[in-house]
Amino acid sequence: MIGVLGASGAVGRAAVRELRALGHTGLRLGGRTPSALHAVAGEDPTGQDETVRADATAPDGLRAFTEGCAVVLNCVGPTYLLRATVASAALAAG
């Protein structure tokens, strides 16, 4: 599974569109605002995407988001402040 953190932001939405265009389905869409995530998931023609509320500043929630993902695409910012937190959560989830 591919997880896209920050999926409802401008960069995240662009990444999700590109992943879908490449044939990826069943994406895990993460972010802080459930309604915005559901809007992005609603654009999935297969209906296989899942949404997970995840805050990049909360390591426990991030670990839950990253569990089961083979790849986590970090689209949250500012990257210089959050990259280590997101990477640590992904590593902890295996």
Whether 94 has a pLDDT exceeding 80, the answer reads no
pLDDT tens per residue, range 64-88: 899 999 999 999 988 777 777 887 7
Q: How many domains does the chain have?
A: 1
Q: Alpha helices of the chain — where are they, by DSSP H?
A: 10-21, 34-41, 59-66, 79-93
pLDDT tens per residue, range 1-54: 999 999 999 999 999 999 999 999 999 999 999 999 999 999 999 999 999 999
Give how far Cα 20 sits from Cα of 4, 47, 88, 93, Å. 12, 12, 27, 25
Q: What is the pLDDT of residue 83?
A: 78
Could you count the other beta carbons within 10 Å of the beta carbon of residue 91? 11
Q: What is the pLDDT of residue 79?
A: 78
Question: pLDDT-based confidence at 58, cuts 50/70/90?
Answer: confident
CA 64 to CA 68: how far, in whole Å?
Answer: 9
CATH number at residue 25: 3.40.50.720
CA 85 to CA 39: how far, in whole Å?
Answer: 26
Domain region containing 53: 2-93
